[in-house]
């Protein structure tokens, strides 16, 4: 993407104002998407994002500039702007010697998206549309989007690091609207993996569409969700987002460092039920949040966060780790070269336990069973978090009964973690986009079927 | 003539016979200063530019974008869009809009003084913001964030149908989030100010809001579940108006995703509710001379006296419904094709302050902030359930603060359960204005 000698000269220019660390992050990303709605392929889109972000750190101050001009002149201008922002009294000439480091990918990509005929991408959508509409006359609308990206990154810094990575992601999203006596309801299904077009060797667009349609049709029969505190059983895969919000964000070292996390000073203490073992794993082959290196060039790692309920570590990026005198945990990520990296999750999941999932439901006299969640939000400083249910049912006398309408559930992270009283022996993951400080990055979360003994369900029924 | 428009013309000139081509170019400059503990944490400055090209040929549409104005890349982008058009479904209603003769209103959205405002003063403002919030109340133990940000941007559209439009705007903001109290009793509160130029930022208001909103929640507890009358703070009601906006788009109506479909001429809200989208209102953050297809912006009345009047249209939905576009095309910059949406949605304000409304209502819940709007509100079914923080009030006076609770209803019911609209209209970033709203009979869930 950029010549090695140019990178070295740009880093040296970046350090000229006295910075003690400089970094070049260059990115060349090709994306393509196809959108079907209302029975028609509305359009195919191709996108090209190419540029570099340069940061210079001096003590606790970071200067940052980015440019879409990858010539030496353009890069130097950005380096000077970043250096000016982090200027100090010192300065002078500092040479940077780069050593190229190769990375091991967690898995191989078989079919690059740019090698696939556009017509094949469009055909997936037509297939999804037909399958969803065949699911029932009450399905009134189908939207389907195919998207892929091939992102090449280069990271070089004044510690002498020079490394590159190729990241390929492919996803299909199907949403359906069903209409009945109670109005309209929606259903959604959207699998994605960090692989190429081979995704469709294992994922049939028709199955995805039927699942989205089934969900919308089930919701037509849904009754208002209850209001108040109830036991909540989360089906495998569906509830990983609970941990993402209840504690994942609170374990990000940048938020901990600014005293904006209820988990500050809690390493080594019991923060969750002994049944909870939580991991953040950027090496999880093929998952949505996987990569060989993070956006600071650090190799992805499997990091244990909670073991038997005890907090073992936070997640770290380069800056926060440097300040704490330790290694990054490979969690420094950014949306694009337009952004500064910060601490982000990758694939965050709870390890399977020992109980039979069906038994967990049977042992719940009155509660709700969540099959699909629709994202969430947390205030890490207070620990309060919400997540939405998009497919859920009542549990009455240990049996799953009628579906309930969408609602948010609200809880406090530390309290909910302690209230987990059953963990199943099954496991699945969920694909999502995590937003923090205006930047979105692909993540996944996962968990076995488990139960929270009490959470507030925000429905409308008394 | 603007350089961007010249570049856009250059792309359009390369249209082949039978092709309709639209070139949309954007360029912006951003500065962001984040401070922490009395020092600068980061200072970012960035220039962004890009092009989006739409090609319509033989009733099919293709699109491509690139984050670059490099000549070779721009040429590739046009080729890609052209190639993509071959795979779309034939749709007789596709087509670029023709100029409709409406003259744009002159709006004062760009202030050249922002470009020459020194970086050191931006840094000083961010540091001053942090200092002042910290000093505002002894119960504030620190700040989660304090930052200054600004941007200047320009865009140009040119098409084979004769559209030629340019826009320039500037904007800046300060925002602070305060941490009050200790440990598990910590509460947060955000204060901000937005303006077109730094001199117009209201530092005192941002400081006061961050301090008051965090400290007045100290001691908050989960309330008992019950039905209540709620007062939505302006920042909250602005988000709710935003939810209504998707149902008012003709695109949602045509595709069967609008809860307002088929209801034009019917009473959908209380009789005193009037809802207007007016991007020619200069105070509106989303104001603009042109819509995203290059037609002059105009005022559209959507609900009047509680009766639904019509929907927002771009040229495509207009053609589908046999009526002209009402200049409501919106797009997320050069990366996407124009959709339909509101830019400056507002209810007609009433004349009561928030305090007066609280006194009128007597007992209820003042909702200061909501969470989980994206996960708990479904603009298609109308169901919503969101996390809330705020203050219960009794006999018109503030009482206990609450946290870890939700409020739930449907958007349809909320329009009919509206009791009063405040006079405290605030134009906020995003497509909708906020003002205090009083809504009766909402389900509060807690313990």
Q: Which of A262, A411, A462 sits opposite B184 (nearest CB)?
A: A262
Q: For chain A, say whether B179 makes contact (Cβ under 8 Å).
A: yes
Considering the domain architecture, whether residues A434 and A287 belong to the same structural domain is answered as yes
A203 domain-assigned:
no
Nearest CA in chain A to B186: A382
Q: Region A5-11: what's the mean pLDDT?
A: 95
> What three-state secondary structure class fits B433?
strand
Neighbours of A24 (CB within 10 A): 27
Own/partner pairs for B350-354, CB < 8 Å, 24+ apart?
Answer: B350/B420, B350/B421, B350/B422, B350/B423, B350/B435, B351/B423, B352/B420, B352/B422, B352/B423, B352/B436, B353/B422, B353/B423, B353/B424, B353/B436, B354/B231, B354/B233, B354/B422, B354/B424, B354/B436
Q: Region A415-425: what's the mean pLDDT?
A: 97
Run of H or E including A7: helix A4-14
Domain total in chain A: 2
Q: For chain B, say whether A120 makes contact (Cβ under 8 Å).
A: no
Task: State what percent of residues in chain A have pLDDT above 70.
Answer: 98
Upper half-sphere CA count for residue B281 (Cβ side, 13 Å) = 21
Considering the domain architecture, whether residues B136 and B281 belong to the same structural domain is answered as no
For B412, which DSSP code?
A: H
**Domain range for A266:** 227-458
Domain total in chain B: 2
Considering the domain architecture, whether residues A231 and A93 belong to the same structural domain is answered as no
pLDDT tens per residue, range A85-139: 887 655 566 777 888 888 888 889 999 999 999 999 999 999 999 999 999 889 9
Considering the domain architecture, whether residues B413 and B358 belong to the same structural domain is answered as yes
Place of tokens 């060989």: A292
Question: Measured between alpha carbons, how far is A288 from A347 in angstroms, rounded to an integer?
Answer: 7
Question: Measured between alpha carbons, how far is A443 from A459 in angstroms, rounded to an integer?
Answer: 28
Q: For chain B, say whether A19 makes contact (Cβ under 8 Å).
A: no
Nearest CA in chain A to B28: A67
Q: For chain A, say whether B310 makes contact (Cβ under 8 Å).
A: no
Q: What is the predicted pLDDT for the residue at B183?
A: 83
Q: What is the predicted pLDDT for the residue at A420?
A: 97
Considering the domain architecture, whether residues B129 and B239 belong to the same structural domain is answered as no
**Which residues have C-beta within 8 Å of that of residue A198, sequence separation ≥ 6?**
A109, A110, A111
Shortest distance, CA A383 to any CA of chain B (angstroms): 8
What burial letters (b/e) apply to A210-229, b meaning 16+ CB within 10 Å? bbbbbbbbbbbebebbbbbb
Considering the domain architecture, whether residues B87 and B132 belong to the same structural domain is answered as yes
Q: What is the predicted pLDDT for the residue at B262?
A: 94
**Which residues have C-beta within 8 Å of that of residue A73, sequence separation ≥ 6?**
none
Q: Which of A61, A382, A456 sits opposite B186 (nearest CB)?
A: A382
Residue B317: phi and psi, rounded to 5, are -65, -35
Neighbours of A107 (CB within 10 A): 15
Q: What is the predicted pLDDT for the residue at A106?
A: 87
CA angle A336, A288, A100 (to 5 degrees): 55
Considering the domain architecture, whether residues B166 and B277 belong to the same structural domain is answered as no
What are the chain A neighbours of B370 within 8 Å (beta carbons)?
none
Last residue of a domain, one of A77, A101, A125: A101
Considering the domain architecture, whether residues B200 and B153 belong to the same structural domain is answered as yes
Q: What is the predicted pLDDT for the residue at A84?
A: 87
Contact A238, A189 (CB under 8 A): no
Which residues between 31 and 70 in chain B have a beta carbon less than 8 angstroms from any beta carbon of chain A?
36, 39-50, 61-68, 70
Q: Could you tell me the CA-to-CA distances from B378 to A45, A177, A407, B247, B367 in Å, in that order?
A: 27, 12, 9, 11, 20
What stretches of A71-117 show up as alpha helix (H) in DSSP?
72-85
- Cross-strand partners of B437: B232, B421
Q: Could you tell me the CA-to-CA distances from B354 to B233, B274, B351, B408 in Å, in that order?
A: 8, 20, 10, 22
Q: For chain B, say whether A168 makes contact (Cβ under 8 Å).
A: no
Considering the domain architecture, whether residues B315 and B191 belong to the same structural domain is answered as no
B83 phi-psi bin (left φ>0, alpha ψ -120 to 50, beta other)? alpha
Q: What is the predicted pLDDT for the residue at B135?
A: 97
Q: What is the predicted pLDDT for the residue at A461?
A: 86
What are the chain A neighbours of B48 within 8 Å (beta carbons)?
68, 338
Nearest CA in chain A to B31: A65
Q: What is the predicted pLDDT for the residue at B33?
A: 96
Last residue of a domain, one of A101, A120, A143: A101
Last residue of a domain, one of B186, B212, B238: B212
Last residue of a domain, one of B212, B231, B246: B212
Q: What is the predicted pLDDT for the residue at A191?
A: 95
Place of tokens 């009294």: A89
CATH number at residue B172: 3.30.2290.10
Considering the domain architecture, whether residues B227 and B268 belong to the same structural domain is answered as yes
DSSP letter string over A204-259? Answer: -HHHHHHHHHHHHHHHHTPBPPBEEEEEEEE-TTTTHHHHIIIIIGGGBHHHHHTT
A112 domain-assigned:
no
Shortest distance, CA B67 to any CA of chain A (angstroms): 5
Question: Measured between alpha carbons, how far is B192 from B201 in angstroms, rounded to an integer?
Answer: 9
A215 domain-assigned:
no
Q: For chain A, say whether B376 makes contact (Cβ under 8 Å).
A: yes
Q: What is the predicted pLDDT for the residue at A4?
A: 93
Question: Measured between alpha carbons, how far is A351 from B332 in angstroms, rounded to an integer?
Answer: 40
Q: What is the pTM of this model?
A: 0.94
Considering the domain architecture, whether residues B116 and B228 belong to the same structural domain is answered as no
Please determine, for the modelled complex, whether the ipTM score is greater than 0.90: yes
Run of H or E including B188: strand B187-195
What are the chain A neighbours of B62 within 8 Å (beta carbons)?
43-44
Run of H or E including B230: strand B226-232
> What three-state secondary structure class fits A186?
strand
What are the chain A neighbours of B406 within 8 Å (beta carbons)?
227, 386, 407-408, 410, 456, 458
Q: Could you tell me the CA-to-CA distances from B165 to A239, A250, A333, B102, B317 in Å, in that order?
A: 48, 46, 38, 12, 21
Residue A451: phi and psi, rounded to 5, are -125, 135
pLDDT tens per residue, range A187-224: 999 999 999 999 999 999 999 999 999 999 999 999 99
Each residue's pLDDT, cut to its tens digit, for chain B (447 residues) gives 689 999 999 999 999 999 999 999 999 999 999 999 999 999 998 889 999 999 999 999 999 999 999 999 999 999 999 999 999 999 999 999 999 999 999 998 999 999 899 999 999 999 999 999 999 999 999 999 999 999 999 999 999 999 999 999 999 999 999 999 988 899 999 999 999 999 999 999 999 999 999 999 999 999 999 999 999 999 999 999 999 999 999 999 999 999 999 999 999 999 999 999 999 999 999 999 999 999 999 999 999 999 999 999 999 999 999 999 999 999 989 999 999 999 999 999 999 999 999 999 999 999 999 999 988 889 999 999 999 999 999 999 999 999 999 999 999 999 999 999 999 999 988 889 999 999 999 999 999
A79 domain-assigned:
yes
A73 domain-assigned:
yes
**Nearest Cα residue to B370 out of B406, B324, B418:** B406
A-interface mutation test, from B87, B151, B223, most A Cβ less than 10 A away:
B87
Question: Measured between alpha carbons, how far is A421 from A416 in angstroms, rounded to an integer?
Answer: 10
Question: Measured between alpha carbons, how far is B412 from B414 in angstroms, rounded to an integer?
Answer: 6
A207 domain-assigned:
no
Q: For chain A, say whether B317 makes contact (Cβ under 8 Å).
A: no
Q: For chain A, say whether B176 makes contact (Cβ under 8 Å).
A: no
Q: What is the predicted pLDDT for the residue at A89?
A: 53
Which residues between 386 and 445 in chain B have a beta carbon less than 8 angstroms from any beta carbon of chain A?
386-387, 389, 403-409, 443-445
Last residue of a domain, one of B173, B189, B212: B212
A388 domain-assigned:
yes
What are the chain A neighbours of B187 within 8 Å (beta carbons)?
381-382
Q: For chain B, say whether A186 makes contact (Cβ under 8 Å).
A: yes
Q: What is the predicted pLDDT for the residue at A99?
A: 83
Considering the domain architecture, whether residues A407 and A261 belong to the same structural domain is answered as yes
**Domain range for B76:** 3-212
Considering the domain architecture, whether residues B225 and B204 belong to the same structural domain is answered as no
B-interface mutation test, from A410, A419, A439, A462, most B Cβ less than 10 A away:
A410
Considering the domain architecture, whether residues B206 and B266 belong to the same structural domain is answered as no
- Beta strand B364-371 with B300-304 is unpaired
Residue contacts between A and B (CB atoms, under 8 Å):
269
Q: Which of B39, B63, B372 sits opposite A376 (nearest CB)?
A: B372
CA angle B71, B76, B77 (to 5 degrees): 95
Interface contact A179-B256, CB threshold 8 A: yes
Q: For chain A, say whether B75 makes contact (Cβ under 8 Å).
A: no
What are the chain A neighbours of B73 within 8 Å (beta carbons)?
48, 50
Interface contact B84-A388, CB threshold 8 A: no
pLDDT tens per residue, range A363-399: 999 999 999 998 899 999 999 999 999 999 999 999 9
Question: Measured between alpha carbons, how far is B374 from B367 in angstroms, rounded to an integer?
Answer: 17
Q: What is the predicted pLDDT for the residue at A105?
A: 85
- For B332, counting Cβ atoms within 10 Å of its Cβ (0-12 exposed, 13-18 middle, 19+ buried), the class is exposed
Q: For chain B, say whether A340 makes contact (Cβ under 8 Å).
A: yes
């Amino acid at each position: 993407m950029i010549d090695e000698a140019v990178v070295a000269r740009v880093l040296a220019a970046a350090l000229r104002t006295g910075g003690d660390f400089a970094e070049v992050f260059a990115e060349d990303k090709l994306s393509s998407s196809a959108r079907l709605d209302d029975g028609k392929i509305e359009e195919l889109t191709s996108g090209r994002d190419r540029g570099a972000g340069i940061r210079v750190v001096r003590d606790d101050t970071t200067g940052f500039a980015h440019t879409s001009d990858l010539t030496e002149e353009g890069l130097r201008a950005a380096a000077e702007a970043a250096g000016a922002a982090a200027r100090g009294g010192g300065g002078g000439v500092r040479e940077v010697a780069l050593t190229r480091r190769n990375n091991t990918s967690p898995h191989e990509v078989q079919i690059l998206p740019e090698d696939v005929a556009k017509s094949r991408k469009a055909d997936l959508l037509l297939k999804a549309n037909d399958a969803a509409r065949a699911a029932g006359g009450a399905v009134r609308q189908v939207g389907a989007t195919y998207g892929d990206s091939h992102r090449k990154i280069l990271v070089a810094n004044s510690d002498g690091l020079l490394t590159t990575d190729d990241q390929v992601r492919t996803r299909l999203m199907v949403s359906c609207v069903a209409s009945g006596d109670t109005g309209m309801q929606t259903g959604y299904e959207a699998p994605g993996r960090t692989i190429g077009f081979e995704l469709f060797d294992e994922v049939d667009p028709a199955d995805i569409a039927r699942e989205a349609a089934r969900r919308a049709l089930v919701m037509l029969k849904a009754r208002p969700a209850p209001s108040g505190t109830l036991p909540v059983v989360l089906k495998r895969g569906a509830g990983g987002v609970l941990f993402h919000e209840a504690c994942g964000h609170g374990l990000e070292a940048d938020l901990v460092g600014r005293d904006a996390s209820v988990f500050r000073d809690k390493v080594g203490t019991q923060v969750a039920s002994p049944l909870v073992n939580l991991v953040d794993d950027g090496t999880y082959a093929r998952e949505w949040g996987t990569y060989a290196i993070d956006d600071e060039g650090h190799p992805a790692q499997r990091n244990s966060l909670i073991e038997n309920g005890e907090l073992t570590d936070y997640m770290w990026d380069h800056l926060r780790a440097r300040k704490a005198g330790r290694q990054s945990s490979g969690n420094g990520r950014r949306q694009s070269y337009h952004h500064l990296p910060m601490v982000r999750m990758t694939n965050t999941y709870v390890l399977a336990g020992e109980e039979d999932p069906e038994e967990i439901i049977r042992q719940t006299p009155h509660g709700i069973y969540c099959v699909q969640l629709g994202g969430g939000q947390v205030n890490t400083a207070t620990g309060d978090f919400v997540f939405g249910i998009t497919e859920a049912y009542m549990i009455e006398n240990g049996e799953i009964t009628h579906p309930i309408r969408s609602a948010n559930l609200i809880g406090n992270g530390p309290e909910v973690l302690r209230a987990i009283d059953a963990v199943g022996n099954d496991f699945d993951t969920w694909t999502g986009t995590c937003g923090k400080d205006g930047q979105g990055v692909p993540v996944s979360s996962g968990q076995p079927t488990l139960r929270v003994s009490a959470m507030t369900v925000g429905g409308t029924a008394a | 003539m603007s350089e961007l428009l010249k570049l856009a013309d250059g792309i359009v000139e390369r249209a082949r016979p039978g092709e309709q081509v639209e070139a949309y170019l954007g360029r912006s400059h951003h500065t962001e200063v984040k401070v922490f503990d009395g020092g600068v944490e980061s200072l970012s400055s960035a220039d962004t530019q890009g092009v989006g090209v739409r090609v319509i040929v033989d009733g099919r549409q293709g699109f491509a974008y690139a984050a670059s104005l490099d000549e070779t890349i721009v040429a590739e982008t046009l080729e890609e869009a052209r190639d993509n058009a071959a795979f779309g479904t034939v749709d007789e209603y596709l087509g670029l809009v023709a100029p409709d003769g409406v003259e744009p209103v002159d709006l004062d959205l760009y202030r050249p003084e922002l470009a020459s405002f020194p970086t050191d003063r931006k840094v000083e403002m961010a540091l001053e913001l942090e200092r002042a919030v910290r000093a505002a109340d002894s119960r504030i133990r620190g700040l989660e964030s304090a930052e200054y940000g600004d941007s200047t941007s320009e865009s140009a559209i040119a098409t084979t149908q004769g559209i030629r439009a340019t826009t320039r705007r500037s904007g800046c903001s300060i925002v602070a989030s305060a941490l009050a109290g200790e440990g598990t009793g910590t509460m947060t509160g955000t204060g901000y100010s937005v303006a077109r130029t730094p001199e117009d930022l209201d530092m005192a208001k941002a400081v006061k809001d961050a301090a008051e909103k965090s400290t007045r929640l100290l001691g908050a507890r989960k309330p008992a579940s019950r039905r209540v009358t709620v007062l939505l703070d302006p920042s909250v009601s602005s988000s709710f108006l935003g939810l209504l906006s998707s149902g008012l788009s003709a695109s949602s109506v045509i595709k069967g995703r609008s809860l307002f479909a088929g209801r034009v001429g019917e009473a959908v809200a209380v009789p005193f509710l009037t809802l207007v989208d007016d991007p020619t209102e200069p105070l509106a953050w989303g104001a603009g001379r042109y819509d995203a297809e290059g037609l002059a912006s105009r005022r559209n009345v959507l609900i009047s006296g509680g009766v639904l009047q019509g929907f927002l249209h771009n040229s495509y939905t207009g053609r589908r419904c046999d009526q002209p576009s009402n200049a409501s095309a919106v797009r997320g910059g050069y990366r996407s094709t124009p959709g339909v949406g509101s830019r400056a949605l507002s209810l007609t304000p009433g004349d009561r302050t928030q305090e007066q409304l609280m006194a009128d209502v007597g007992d209820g819940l003042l909702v200061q902030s909501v969470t989980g709007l994206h996960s708990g509100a479904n603009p298609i079914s109308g169901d919503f359930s969101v996390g809330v923080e705020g203050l219960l009030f009794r006999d018109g006076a503030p009482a206990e603060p609450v946290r870890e609770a939700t409020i739930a209803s449907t958007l349809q019911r909320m329009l009919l359960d509206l009791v009063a609209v405040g006079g405290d209209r605030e134009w906020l970033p995003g497509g909708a204005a906020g003002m205090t709203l009083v809504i009766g009979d909402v389900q509060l869930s807690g313990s």
